[in-house]
Amino acid sequence: MLERGGPAGSGGRAHAVRAAESARIGEMSSRPTPEPAIAFKKSVFREYLESIVVAVILALFIRTFAVQAFKIPTGSMEPNLLIGDHLLVNKLVYSPSLGPLEGALFGKRSIERGHVVVFKFPEDPTRDFIKRVIGLPGETIEIRNKHVFVDGKGIEEPYAHFLEATLRPDDPEFSHAGDGIRDAWGPQTVPAGQLLVLGDNRDNSRDSRFWGFLPVNQVKGRALLVYWSYEATREEYHRTGIVEWVRDTLSAFGRTRWKRFFHVIR
């Protein structure tokens, strides 16, 4: 009886399994098919807007912490920098470093004699000036007959430019040159945390000889290179009218100094 009953029981179980499977398949087939998810697609306007926002944020970051553009409105640094020169200034080079790796990566260094720096004018911090560093903290600087002496020793200044001969006390123009301090100044010792800066165009520059030493913390950065330059006059730079500004800007492209493009400032 066991031999005859076994196969019959197995067949019943198999039939039950097939029935359950068929019922499950039927239930699944009766369910509604889910619709495919619709991929989210940004509009062209939104993509452009996001790109512009990122570009603006990046530009503000670079301008604030890395590189900033300046222009030369006067002739105090001629002939090395001309009126109409547009410069890029490295704002990272003198900033504090968190470690030697950061200093090496961004080429950071201390301020040295001969560097051309952009700084906030001590008498009016809203204005930016550009001059060359001549005296460092602790050094005694003296100017004799237009020549600069550091700690009693004369220095070579291939960048210095002079328009006039040395003025003597009996010269009628002596009093118009700051009582001679233009050509004869000091000796004075540069205080800690200060610099002595001069314009390359020594006879046409208001600098440390006239308004004193420059606090190091007022230095914004080191001038790198000229990225654009055009022939201009000082008067053109000081015009404020909209019509004049538009006219001067449009005409500037025809007066571009092509040879000064990417001129490295030394």
Phi-psi region for residue 38, left (φ > 0), alpha (ψ -120 to 50) or beta? Answer: beta
Catalytic hit among 42, 71, 131, 146: 131
Residue 118's alpha-carbon distances to 67, 87, 174, 241, in angstroms, are: 12, 10, 30, 27
Q: Considering only CA atoms, which of 57, 121, 83 is closest in space to residue 230?
A: 83
Q: Cα–Cα distance between 15 and 204 in angstroms, integer?
A: 110
Give the containing element (helix H, strand E) for 195: strand 194-198
Cα-flanking dihedrals φ and ψ of residue 194, to 5°?
A: -130, 165
The domain locations on the chain are 71-264
Q: Residue 194's pLDDT band (boundaries 50, 70, 90)?
A: very high
Identity at 256, one-letter amino acid code: T
Q: Considering only CA atoms, which of 168, 193, 190 is closest in space to residue 179?
A: 168
Q: Which CATH number fits domain 71-264: 3.40.50.1860, 3.40.50.11310, 1.10.357.10, 2.10.109.10?
A: 2.10.109.10
* Known catalytic residue at 131: yes
CB 219 within 8 A of CB 92: no
* Digit-coded pLDDT (tens) for 55-113: 656 555 454 557 888 999 999 999 999 999 999 999 988 877 666 766 666 677 899 99
Choose the weakest-confidence range: 32-46, 190-204, 231-245: 32-46
Peptide bond into 187 cis (omega under 30): yes
Catalytic hit among 10, 29, 30, 76: 76
Half-sphere exposure of 260 (CA within 13 A, CB side): 21
* Known catalytic residue at 220: no
Tell me the whole-structure pTM to 2 decimals: 0.70
